[in-house]
Structures are given as structure tokens and as C-alpha cells.
């Protein structure tokens, strides 16, 4: 009985350690977090639209979806938010926007589906890297 209890406790300790979140915490205001998460949802939505449109050979839709999250989105990100982000995020973010812009350019020129899908696959690595490295938390307001 004692042995089973000891094994169970060791298992719980091991499980807790294996699920520890070791990502870097990025502290943002609630408003900044909402804006940041919306941008990530926009990336996800654009990725799905690009994939679906590519498979349907609809290059006009690929271009439209990619441009929406391309360079023009960078210009809409407030400086106050940019100042809160760590250097790694500040590298991945613009790379991701430029990657979508590159997809849009390909769709509007040659429209090679294979090139677009390969670029999208490479771009998704930025998303995975960022989500693997960082977590967003709301900083408490000081009263």
C-alpha cells in the first residue's frame, strides 16, 4: 500500500514537472493583449483562407487574404505595443508579415500554387516558434 502511494506521488511530481510552462512571459495590458491575440487570429484565418484558395486555384483570393495580414498590418500596430514585445517577437512578427506579403506577391504574379503552399508551410514555422517561446499575460494595474 505504501509503495503504491509512493509511486503515485512520484508520478504526480513527474507529471507536474513535465507540463511546466517554461515559455517567456510577455506582460501586456488587457487592451494590448486583446489586440495582440486578434492579430494572431487574423494570421490563422489568413493561413486557412490561403490554403483553401490555393487548392481551388483562386489566386485572387490568395492575394487578398495574404495582403490583409502583410505589410499594411505592421503599420497598424501601435508603437506602445511594439515597445512591450521582446526582441525575439519583434523579429518573428515582421518576418511573418513580410512572409504573407511574399505570398500575396506570388499570387499576383505567377500564381504558382506549389510556391505559395511551400511559403505558407515555412511561414507557419514562425507561428510555432513564437507560440513555443512566449506566453502573454495581463499585467495588473497598480492602484
Q: Do 70 and 100 contact (CB within 8 A), yes or no?
A: yes
**Is 29 domain-assigned?**
no
**Which residues pair with residue 28 across a beta bridge?**
138
Per-residue confidence band for 17, with pLDDT thresholds at 50, 70 and 90: low
Cell representation of residue 49: 483562407
Per-residue confidence band for 74, with pLDDT thresholds at 50, 70 and 90: confident
**Is 14 domain-assigned?**
no
**Is 35 domain-assigned?**
no
Position 19 scores a pLDDT of 73
**Is 12 domain-assigned?**
no
Per-residue confidence band for 18, with pLDDT thresholds at 50, 70 and 90: low
Confirm whether pTM is higher than 0.85.
Answer: no
Q: Do 136 and 36 contact (CB within 8 A), yes or no?
A: yes
**Is 94 domain-assigned?**
yes
**Is 95 domain-assigned?**
yes
**Is 60 domain-assigned?**
yes
77: exposed, middle or buried (C-beta count within 10 Å: 0-12, 13-18, 19+)? middle
**Is 39 domain-assigned?**
no
Per-residue confidence band for 76, with pLDDT thresholds at 50, 70 and 90: confident
- Tell me the backbone φ, ψ of residue 60, rounded to 5 degrees: -65, -40
In total, how many domains does the chain have? 1
List Cβ neighbours of 108 (8 Å cut-off, separation of 6 or more).
Answer: 59, 63
Domain that holds residue 100: 45-137
Amino acid at each position: 500500500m505504501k509503495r503504491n502511494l509512493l509511486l503515485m506521488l512520484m508520478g504526480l511530481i513527474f507529471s507536474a514537472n513535465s507540463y511546466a510552462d517554461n515559455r517567456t512571459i510577455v506582460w501586456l495590458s488587457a487592451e494590448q493583449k486583446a489586440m495582440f491575440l486578434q492579430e494572431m487570429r487574423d494570421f490563422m484565418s489568413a493561413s486557412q483562407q490561403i490554403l483553401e484558395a490555393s487548392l481551388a486555384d483562386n489566386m485572387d483570393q490568395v492575394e487578398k487574404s495574404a495582403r490583409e495580414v502583410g505589410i499594411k498590418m505592421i503599420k497598424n500596430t501601435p508603437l506602445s505595443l511594439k515597445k512591450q514585445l521582446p526582441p525575439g517577437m519583434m523579429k518573428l512578427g515582421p518576418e511573418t508579415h513580410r512572409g504573407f506579403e511574399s505570398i500575396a506577391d506570388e499570387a499576383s504574379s505567377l500564381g504558382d500554387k506549389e510556391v505559395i503552399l511551400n511559403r505558407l508551410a515555412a511561414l507557419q514555422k514562425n507561428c510555432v516558434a513564437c507560440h513555443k517561446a512566449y506566453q502573454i499575460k495581463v499585467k495588473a494595474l497598480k492602484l
